[in-house]
Amino acid sequence: MTLIESFEKLDYSDALESSEEAQNWLDSHGRRFGQFINGKFESRSDADLIASLNPSNGNLLANIEVAGPNQLKKAITAARNALPAWQAMDGHGRAKVLYALARLLQKHTRIVSVLETLDNGKPIRESRDIDIPLAIRHFYHHAGWAQIQEREFSEYKSIGVVAQIVPWNFPLLMLAWKIAPAIAMGNTLVFKPAEQTPITAMFFAHLCEQAGVPDGVINIVNGAGTTGAALAAHEGVDKVAFTGSTSVGRAIRKATAGQNKKLTLELGGKSAFVVFEDADLDAAVEGLVDSIWFNQGEVCCAGSRLLVQAQIADKLHTKLKKRMQTLRQGTPLNKSVDIGSLVSQTQYQRVDELVQNGIEQGGELYQASTTQPDGNYYPPTLITEIDSSHPLAQEEIFGPVLVSMPFRTQSEAVTLANNSRYGLAASIWSENINRAMDVAPKIKAGVIWINCHNQFDASCGFGGVRESGFGREGGKEGLYEYLQPKLLKKVAKSKPIKVERQSSKENIDRTLKFYIGGRQVRPDGGHSIATYKANGSLATWVGAGNRKDIRNAVSAATKASNWSNQNGHLRAQIIYFFAENLALREDEWIKRLQEICGLTKKQAKTEFNASLSRIFSYAAWADKYDGAVHNAPYRGVTMALPEAIGVLAQIAPEEKPLISTISLIAPAIAMGNRVVLIASERYASIALELVQTLETSDIPAGVVNILTGNKTDLAEQLAGHAEVDGIWCWAEPETVAQVEATSAIDLKRLWVHIDGDRDWLDSQQGEGLEFLRNATEVKNIWTPYGD
Ligand code: NAD
C-alpha cells in the first residue's frame, strides 16, 4: 500500500505494547504465588491451585495457591497483632507509608499496566491511562487524609481488622479503593483479590515490602468464593468491605448477621444513561462509548440502560450504530484497540447466554462486528424495541451490551430510570442545565454524571443505594466507613420493675393508641399490653402491633414523601415548633418521668431539658448539614449532597425513653426522612405520650409514626418490608442478628447496635454528626463545564 493509499484509508496499524518485562517478572517468581502474610510470602507445596489465565489467548500467567484455613487464621492474627502499633502511629507516619506506595506504583506504572491487561483482558490504553493512574491517585489522596486525620476526625478511631474482598473488573483500582482509606485511618487488613485476576495484587504485595509497610498491616490471601466466605465470616474480623455481585453481597449480609461487624457493600447496577431531546447527540454517542464499551462493559456503573427521548431516538440509534462500526476490538496489548477481551470464557458464555435468552423474549439485536474465533471478544451490542419489564432491561449483564428504551416526558424519564432494583449511578444528557439539575436529585442512585459518564476520583464518594449496596468509597464520606466514634461508653440496664398485684381500683382503662398517618389508631389485632410505673403499679395500656399495623405505618410514611422534598428552613421551623409545644408540657413530663422511670425530680428535669435542647439542635442542623463540593482534578465541580434515606424504621433503645426517642426521631426528620418508630418495650407509654405534641406541631401526617409491641417481631416485619429504605436499631443481640439477616432480602441500609452502647443523656454520645450522617446518603453529582 502506498503512503497516499494509507493516508486515505486512515486505518490504524498495530501498536503492540511489549509484555517482556511483565513476563520476565512472572518467570522470576516461578509463575506461582502463595499468600502475603505478616510482610512475607508464604507458599505451600500441597496447596490447591487456581490458574490465572490471559483471557485473550488462554495462556497461563501464573498458578495461584488457595489459602487454607490455617493461613487465613494466620493472616487475620498478623493483622490483629499489627493493629496496636499501626493505630498508635501518628497520622504523619501512616501518611509516609501511603505516599511511598503511591510513589512506587508510579515508578512501576508500565509493568503494572501490562500485568493488569494480561490478567484481565482490558485494553492497555485503559489500564495505562485510567486504572493505574486512578489507583496511584487514591494512595496519594489518602496519604493526605492520614496526615490530617487527627484534626479532621478527632472524635473517631479506627475500627480494627478489616476483611476486604474485590471482583475482577478493576483489580488494582479496587485494591487501592479498599486498602488506601483503611490503612490511612489506622486499620489493618486482610485483602482477597478475585480468583480470576490476582496478579497485580501480588505485584503490589512486593511493593509493600519496599514501601516500609509494617509487617501484618497489609495481608493478601488468594482463593475463590469459599475463601472469601471464610474470610468475611471469620470471628477475628471487625469489618467487612466487599465489592462484587449483589447475590454474594446478600450472602455476606446473611453470613455476618449477628457478628457485630461493620459492613460496606458495593454491588451491581443497571445504570441509566438518559438522553433528552436537547442533548448534544455527538457528545452523547461518545459518552456511550465511554459508558458501556469502556472495560468491555464489565463496569458496575456502566450506563447499560439507554433512555432516549422518543423524538430523537431514531437519530441517536443511527449515529450510535455508525460509531459502533468504528470501534476497534482486538488484542488488549494493542495500543490502538478500544475494546479488549472479556475476563474469562465463563464470563463470555454468561453474557452470550443472557443475550440469547433475552432476545427470545423480544427485542432487536444489533452487533457491530462478528465474534472473533479466538479469545473472549464479545462484540459491542445494542438492543432496541424492548420495554422496561424485559429481562435484558432489568438484569445486570456485565458485558458490552446496551439496551435502549424511549421516553416521552421528563417525568417518564425519571420513572424509567428508577424502575430498577439497583441504584448505583446514572448520567443525564442535556444542554439545559436547569433540566439536568432538576432531574439529578430525582434519580435514585449514589452517583449522577451530567453530560459525562464513568468519571471517578479519590476525592469523590462512590457507592449506591437499594440493591447496589451501601457505604461510600472515596471522598471524606468514604473514610467514615473505616472509623468508629471514640467516645461511646456502655451503660448498664435498669433493674427490672417488680410488678405489683393489680387491685381492681388500679385497673384503669387508659389505652394509648398508635400514631399512624397523623391519626391515633387502635392496634389491628385488638391486643394490648400493660405498662407499669417504677413502683410496680399499673401505668397504662399500650397496643400490641402486628404485621398489618406495620404495613399501615410504612404506607403512611411512604405517602408522606413530600417531606423529603421540603427545604431545610421549613423543616427547621416545624421542628422548633415541636420543641416549643413540648416545653409547654414541662410539668406534666417531669411528673411522668418520675413516676414511670423512677427518676428524681432533678433527674427528670435534666432529661426533659436535654430532650428539648436536642430537638433544638436538630432544628438548627436541618438547614446546615449541607454537603460539600469536591475538588476533583477535572474542569467541573462534583457536588456531594446529603439526601434523606427515605422511609426509616427505628427500633428505639430501652433506656432513657424520652431522650432516646427524641434522639432518633429528631435527626431523622430534620434530614427529611419519614419515620416508623417502635418504642421501648419497658417504657412503651413514653413515646406514645409524645403524640399529642406531635399532633399540634405542624409535622405533616405520616412523617412520624409510632407503634408499640414486641420489638423483635415488629423489627422483623420492618426488616422484610420492601418500602422501608433503612433501619436504625438498638436492641438485644438476637434482634439485631435477625434484622441483619432479614434485611438481606433487599439490602437495606442498616445502623444497628446492641442496646446499651451509649449514654443518651450525654450530648457527645447521643447527638451530632454521627446521627446526621446515618440519616442521609451522599449523592455525588458530577457537573463538568467548558466546551
Ligand atoms: P462476585 O460477587 O462473584 O465476586 C466478587 C469477589 O467475591 C471475588 O473475590 C470472589 O472470590 C468473592 N466471593 C465469591 N463468593 C463469595 C462469598 N460467598 N463470600 C465472600 N466472597 C465471595 O462478583 P464478580 O462476578 O467477580 O464481579 C462482578 C460483580 O461485581 C458485578 O455485579 C459488578 O456490578 C460488581 N461490582 C461492583 C462495584 C461497585 O463499586 N459497586 C465495582 C466493581 C464490580
Q: HSE-up of 181 (CA within 13 Å, CB side)? A: 24
Distance CA 430, CA 520 (A): 47
Mutate to test the pocket of ligand 1, among 50, 64, 221, 300 (most ligand atoms within 8 A of CB): 300
Mutate to test the pocket of ligand 1, among 138, 166, 169 (most ligand atoms within 8 A of CB): 169
User: For residue 134, is pLDDT > 60?
Assistant: yes
The CA 259 to ligand 1 mean position distance, Å, reads 21
User: For residue 536, is pLDDT > 60?
Assistant: yes
pLDDT tier at 508, thresholds 50, 70, 90: low
pLDDT tier at 90, thresholds 50, 70, 90: very high
Q: Which three cell numbers stand for residue 511?
A: 389505652
User: For residue 156, is pLDDT > 80?
Assistant: yes
Ligand 1 pocket check for 254: Cβ under 6 Å: no
Distance CA 580, CA 698 (A): 12
User: For residue 506, is pLDDT > 60?
Assistant: no
User: For residue 380, is pLDDT > 70?
Assistant: yes
DSSP string for residues in 343-362 = S-HHHHHHHHHHHHHHHHTS
Is the CB of residue 777 less than 8 Å from the CB of residue 643?
yes
Q: Strand, coil or helix: what is 470? A: strand
* Mean pLDDT across the chain: 96
Mutate to test the pocket of ligand 1, among 165, 174, 305 (most ligand atoms within 8 A of CB): 165
Query: Which pLDDT score is estimated for 198?
Result: 98
Ligand 1 pocket check for 167: Cβ under 6 Å: yes
Q: Between helices 171-184 and 109-120, what is the axis angle to 10°?
A: 120
CA distances from 675 to 313, 345, 515, 665 (A): 41, 48, 11, 7
Is the CB of residue 475 less than 8 Å from the CB of residue 780?
yes
The CA 75 to ligand 1 mean position distance, Å, reads 21
Which residues lie closer than 8 Å to 451 by C-beta, 6 or more apart?
279, 280, 283, 287, 427, 428, 429, 430, 431, 436, 783, 784
Query: Which pLDDT score is estimated for 502?
Result: 61
The CA 707 to ligand 1 mean position distance, Å, reads 39
**pLDDT tens digits along 580-600:** 999 999 999 999 999 999 999
Ligand 1 pocket check for 195: Cβ under 6 Å: yes
Average pLDDT on 476-482 reads 97
User: For residue 226, is pLDDT > 60?
Assistant: yes
The CA 475 to ligand 1 mean position distance, Å, reads 22
Query: Which pLDDT score is estimated for 286?
Result: 98
| Least-confidence region, from 257-271, 358-372, 434-448, 609-623 | 358-372
Q: How far apart are the first and last CA of the chain?
A: 39
Ligand 1 pocket check for 245: Cβ under 6 Å: yes
Beta strands in 378-490 (DSSP E): 381-384, 401-407, 425-429, 447-450, 469-470, 483-485
Ligand 1 pocket check for 228: Cβ under 6 Å: yes
Query: Whose C-alpha lies nearest to ligand 1, atom 10?
Result: 225
Average pLDDT on 23-44 reads 98
pLDDT tier at 509, thresholds 50, 70, 90: low
User: For residue 10, is pLDDT > 80?
Assistant: no
The CA 266 to ligand 1 mean position distance, Å, reads 9
Percent of the chain's residues with pLDDT above 90:
94
**pLDDT tens digits along 646-673:** 999 999 999 999 999 999 999 999 999 9
Q: Which three cell numbers stand for residue 293?
A: 464499551
Query: Whose C-alpha lies nearest to ligand 1, atom 39?
Result: 266
CA distances from 170 to 21, 82, 173, 297 (A): 21, 28, 5, 12
User: For residue 604, is pLDDT > 70?
Assistant: yes
State how beta strands 674-678 and 628-630 pair.
unpaired
Angle of CA points 25, 123, 138, to nearest 5°: 75
**pLDDT tens digits along 279-321:** 999 999 999 999 999 999 999 999 999 999 999 999 999 999 9
Q: Could you confirm whether 300 is annotated as catalytic?
A: yes
Ligand 1 pocket check for 482: Cβ under 6 Å: no
pLDDT tier at 537, thresholds 50, 70, 90: very high
Query: Whose C-alpha lies nearest to ligand 1, atom 42?
Result: 300
Ligand 1 pocket check for 396: Cβ under 6 Å: yes
Ligand 1 pocket check for 225: Cβ under 6 Å: yes
The CA 360 to ligand 1 mean position distance, Å, reads 28
Catalytic residue among 17, 116, 126, 300: 300
H helix intervals, 506-642: 547-559, 562-565, 568-583, 586-597, 601-621
User: For residue 770, is pLDDT > 80?
Assistant: yes
Ligand 1 pocket check for 446: Cβ under 6 Å: no
CA distances from 770 to 131, 481, 673, 680 (A): 33, 12, 16, 22
Mutate to test the pocket of ligand 1, among 166, 243, 465 (most ligand atoms within 8 A of CB): 243
Q: HSE-up of 334 (CA within 13 Å, CB side)? A: 14
Ligand 1 pocket check for 269: Cβ under 6 Å: yes
Q: Could you confirm whether 654 is annotated as catalytic?
A: no
Ligand 1 atom at minimum distance from 248 CA: 2
Average pLDDT on 465-483 reads 96
Query: Whose C-alpha lies nearest to ligand 1, atom 21?
Result: 228
Q: Helix, strand, coil proportions of the chain in percent (round to 5)?
A: 45, 20, 35
Average pLDDT on 92-114 reads 98
pLDDT tier at 260, thresholds 50, 70, 90: very high
Distance CA 680, CA 596 (A): 13
CA distances from 11 to 3, 8, 73, 282, 519 (A): 12, 8, 55, 22, 72
Distance CA 355, CA 377 (A): 15
Of 634, 196, 326, give the one whose Cα is nearest residue 454. 634
Query: Which pLDDT score is estimated for 111?
Result: 98
